[in-house]
């Protein structure tokens, strides 16, 4: 996505205000402080009531300092989640997107669903792009992502004035429904959104499907089922992250996801090469087939 600079939040250094906590170190500091104040406590043992009081105090201080860490993270876009992220977004201002209104009259009632923290955080980052009408790449993407059912968007200009806006849907392999495409078209029909001279054509993304087939060779000891489940979760996380427009899938990324603790070797049968996609395409993993081999 050229034309704007979105900071990679995962590459930011850890904030200095968030401290690494060590209960044992806090307890040792409290013990040293007490002994410096009163020599009568210089030979404390763990069974001593005074030592127990220090343990309780150290534990409580650890909890309080962890709460300070959590509070500090809650006001950072890179770390905030849930209502904390909603309140940060209100400064933009931006509201979390309703994906499904649910059905309060159903039995049992179906709760509404909103966009995930990951997707909302991305829109918060893109929000300054939306201060302008669509024109720059980032503005087109920001306004498209505001439409319910849109996971990603990619504007491509095949010729001056013409803009092809490719849409990746939230559901299934990402092929958007006609209803989602129509909603995006309606969004960009608004002259407060679309530049007067732009001709915008809204198109569905092209989906490049693939399957992952692998054999995991592991050492004797750990449960094959637990290793398989953990490896599968890591792989599902990786392929989900890559299900965006213009992002390919690297064989090395699949190997890394599957090669967890306890694994000796991963034999990847499919895909046998990196999956490259164009800006209007998205790679989608149709299935994952993992076989376990205990050596």
CB 54 within 8 A of CB 34: yes
CB 165 within 8 A of CB 245: no
- Cα–Cα distance, 244 to 190 (Å, whole number): 26
Pairing of strands 206-218, 263-270: antiparallel
For residue 1, pLDDT over 70 is answered with: no
Tokens of 48: 């001593």
Q: pLDDT, tens digit, for every residue of 48-63?
A: 999 999 999 999 999 9
Spatial CB neighbours of 172, under 8 Å, sequence gap ≥ 6: none
Tokens of 167: 């849409």
The whole-number average pLDDT for the span 148-172 is 94
- Cα–Cα distance, 96 to 6 (Å, whole number): 19
What is the SS3 assignment for 124? helix
Tokens 């590459």 found at: 11
User: Among residues of the chain, what percentage have pLDDT more than 70?
Assistant: 97
Distances (CA, A) of 258 to 166, 242, 285: 32, 16, 15
What is the SS3 assignment for 244? coil
Spatial CB neighbours of 224, under 8 Å, sequence gap ≥ 6: 218, 292, 294
Q: pLDDT, tens digit, for every residue of 172-210?
A: 999 999 999 999 999 998 877 877 778 999 999 999 999
Q: pLDDT, tens digit, for every residue of 208-256?
A: 999 999 999 998 888 999 999 999 999 999 999 999 999 999 999 999 9
Q: pLDDT, tens digit, for every residue of 59-110?
A: 999 999 999 999 999 999 999 999 999 999 999 889 999 988 999 999 999 9
């Amino acid at each position: 996505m050229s034309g704007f600079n979105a900071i990679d939040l995962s590459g930011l250094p850890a904030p200095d205000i968030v401290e690494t906590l060590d209960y044992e170190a806090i307890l040792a500091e409290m013990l040293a402080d007490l002994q410096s104040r009163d020599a009568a406590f210089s030979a404390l043992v763990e069974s001593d009531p005074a030592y127990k009081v220090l343990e309780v105090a150290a534990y409580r201080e650890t909890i309080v300092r962890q709460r300070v860490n959590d509070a500090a993270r809650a006001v950072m876009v890179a770390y905030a989640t849930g209502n904390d992220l909603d309140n940060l977004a209100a400064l933009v201002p931006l509201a979390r997107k309703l994906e499904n209104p649910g059905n309060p009259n159903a039995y049992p009632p179906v709760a509404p669903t909103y966009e995930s923290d990951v997707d909302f955080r991305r829109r918060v980052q893109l929000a300054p792009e939306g201060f302008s009408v669509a024109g720059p790449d980032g503005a087109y993407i920001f306004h498209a992502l505001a439409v319910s059912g849109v996971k990603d968007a990619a504007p491509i200009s095949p010729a001056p004035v013409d803009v092809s806006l490719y849409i990746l849907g939230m559901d299934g392999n990402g092929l958007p429904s006609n209803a989602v495409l129509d909603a995006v078209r309606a969004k960009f029909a608004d002259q407060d959104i679309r530049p007067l001279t732009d001709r915008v054509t809204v198109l569905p993304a092209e989906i490049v499907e693939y399957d992952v087939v692998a054999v995991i060779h592991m050492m004797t000891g750990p449960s094959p089922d637990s290793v398989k489940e953990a490896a599968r979760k890591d792989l599902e996380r990786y392929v989900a992250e890559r299900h965006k427009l213009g992002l390919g899938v690297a064989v090395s990324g699949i190997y890394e996801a599957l090669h967890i603790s306890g694994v000796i070797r991963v034999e990847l049968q499919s895909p046998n090469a990196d999956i490259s996609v164009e800006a209007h395409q998205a790679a989608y993993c149709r299935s994952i087939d993992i076989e376990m081999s205990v050596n």
